Structure 1
Amino acid sequence: MTTGGERETDMQVQMTDEERSKDEFFQRVAQLSEEMVARHGREFTMGTLVLAARWIAENRIGSETAPS
């Protein structure tokens, strides 16, 4: 029987470079979100993240040539 930690390690070994990169960004966003909630509350944090998503969708930040 494998433990959750063993399965997690196996999954990490099988991740591609792109998947690892995306996972690292997700972890950074999660950490930043936690800090924002602690300092400014949930409403501010959600509004900021939604606004950022909107700007990305409207091509105001980033570029269309970025990898997906």
Structure 2
Amino acid sequence: MTQALTTEEQSKDRFFQALAKVAEEMVEEHGKDFAAGALVLAARWVAENRLGQAEDLKH
């Protein structure tokens, strides 16, 4: 018997699918190293609460 996903689980699943698509596109255009580095950097920005700071994009 399959259990239905909660609204929160469905939302998270959509984000994982979107991340996977972006990652695939980055790999296709710029390779695995770029994609992995960009995703790690994004995770770091999330952990450090630095998202949305325009200054980060200049460096």
Please state which band the TM-score falls in when normalised by the shorter chain. Answer: 0.7 to 0.9
Amino acid at match of 2:15: F
What does 1:45-56 align with in structure 2 at a 5 Å threshold?
Answer: 45-56=35-46
TM-score, normalised on structure 1?
0.70
Structure 1 residue runs of 4 or more that deviate by more than 2 Å after TM superposition: none
TM-score, normalised to structure 2, is 0.81
Identity %: 58
How far apart are residue 61 of structure 1 and its match? 1.4
> What is residue 32 of structure 1 aligned with on the other side?
22
Residue aligned with 1:59, SS = coil
Unpaired runs of 5+ in structure 1? 1-6, 63-68
Which residue of structure 2 aligns with residue 65 of structure 1? none
| Higher RCO (CA 8 Å, separation ≥ 6 residues) | 2
Alignment RMSD (CA, Å) = 1.5
How far off its partner does 1:31 sit? 0.7
Q: Which has the larger radius of gyration?
A: 1
Where does the alignment leave 5 or more consecutive residues of structure 2 unmatched?
53-59
